[in-house]
Amino acid sequence: MSHHSGALSGMDKGFLIYESPETPMHVAALLKFGSRDLASGPEALDLDRLRTFISKRLDGIPRYRQRIEHRPLSEHPIWVDDDHFDIEYHLRHTALPHPGDSASLNRLIARLIEQPLDLKRPLWEIWTIEGLDEGGFAMLFKIHHCMVDGAGGMHLLFSLLSPSSEVESESGSDWAARPPRSRLALLNEEFDERASRSLKVANLIGEAIFHPRQTLRRARASARDIGQAVGGALMPHSGSPLNGPLGRHRRIDRLTFTLESVKSVGKATGSTINDVMLAVVTGGLRKYLKQDEASSRKLSLRVCLPVNRRPETDNFERANCVSALFADLPVGEADPLSCLSYIQDQTEVLKNSGAARGTEMLVEFNNLLSADWLTRLGMQAASSLEPFNLIVTNIRGPSAPLYLLGSRLSEIVPFVPLMPNQRLGIAIASYCNQVTLGLSGDWEGVANLEELRTYLDDAHDDLQAAISPPCSAAVSFRQNGISHEHSARP
């Protein structure tokens, strides 16, 4: 993947605009490693060896040695090589206090995640963590959302880790920053880019003049798709304790299911993995919000579902290539199979609608105009209307094990940044034979995150029980032949 200095897309820039002390816009992932092949002694990790290894791997992903600079006229952010890049700043080391249990690890991760990245440096950190009571070690990746989306994050793992436990011969990096460009060069680039955008607009106008019928037909289809996208995004949600002002501090929690248990529900009900996990989230939130059937039969929570829009052949030049769908979680529905059926019907309609394509076209239109005002307008609309209660993102990870210098990766736990007025975010990732949920909560607004984790576990068990014989509901549940590998790839 070759990254040259260039301008950020409208979507990438949007994540910089969203950045604030209360809403740091980095994604994160906890990676746990089971074995200690990287140890230089009985206890300590060999950090020098790790720095040398990662420095060499960064040669293939130059973006991670670049920082943000702003163009002279438009102040548009662009990537430039960081001539003061220091791997020791970005690769950091810490350890858990004894006994190093799971709760201690959660508290440490929350404190690391709540700290904003330095916007004057390359926008990432990796923390190595020792002292885990279960042995092995962990690494916490923090990467700004303007650099990477969910699929891009998984691609980064493939760039840094190996599918083989064999340790390759290691050599250092001979990278050197390119000389900074002059103000005149930056001005020329800006004028060239504006000319290129003007040419695209002129071509579109010319096509409309010479092929009016095709243009009108395409315009109608586009308007329909954009209408579906905007309609979904601008419909206000019902209020909930999950929404309100954010502080600067976070809580995190995590839980893991076997992939086989999730697939078994999907197989019994003709549902995708994504549908099953949304039903687990719905059941957990129902109990967490203490909804009784009498008061909540019609209550639902609106979720934003990021959808990966990268073609299979994508080379990951673009940092973010996602769209979004908006769905209602029926937290008022007590029966787990009825809840899953409702979600399945809804996601099927969403996939067949033009909403995801409509969102994508709005992003392309924003890129064509290169207009910050459009991004800020969207921010203000989202802030005032609050069109959804929380984000639930599902990232498909590798199905075969990965290794870091011979140490096997045992678990991937993803975390999403919290958006304004949204106190909870849920990220889901599959890896090998497991599915893991990372829960991010505002410290004050979601004080009992452990309780939610327990309820999510219960909701998973409820679905398992519902499909187990002699439950006739599972047999009569509609079969629609959908593959468990969800095509929209949220």
Which phi-psi region, left, alpha or beta, contains residue 197 (left: φ > 0; alpha: ψ -120 to 50)?
alpha
Cα 84 from chain centroid?
29
Query: pTM to 2 decimals?
Result: 0.82
Q: If DSSP codes are grouped into helix, strand and coil, which group holds residue 36?
A: coil
Ordered per-residue pLDDT tens for the chain, 490 residues: 344 457 788 778 888 988 999 999 999 999 999 866 665 555 568 899 999 999 999 998 999 999 999 887 777 888 999 999 999 999 999 999 988 999 999 999 999 999 999 999 999 999 999 999 988 899 999 999 999 888 788 888 888 999 988 887 667 777 888 887 777 777 777 667 766 666 666 665 666 676 666 656 665 555 554 554 555 555 555 668 898 999 999 999 999 999 999 999 999 999 999 999 999 999 999 999 885 444 555 567 889 888 876 777 766 677 667 777 888 899 989 999 999 999 999 888 877 765 555 555 556 656 555 656 555 555 555 555 567 899 999 999 999 999 998 899 999 999 999 998 899 999 999 999 999 999 999 999 999 999 999 999 999 999 999 998 754 444 444 444 333 333 333 3
- Sheet of 250-258, strand order: 250-258, 434-442, 424-431, 390-395, 301-308, 322-329
Minimal CA–CA distance to 406: which of 38, 113, 125? Answer: 38
Provide the 10 A C-beta neighbour count for residue 210. 9
DSSP state for residue 162 in the 8-state scheme = B
Q: Are 389 and 237 spatial neighbours (Cβ–Cβ below 8 Å)?
A: yes
Rounded CA gap, 275 and 281, in Å?
10
Backbone torsions φ then ψ of 437, nearest 5 degrees: -105, 130
Domains (range + CATH), the chain: 10-160 (3.30.559.10), 231-476 (3.30.559.30)
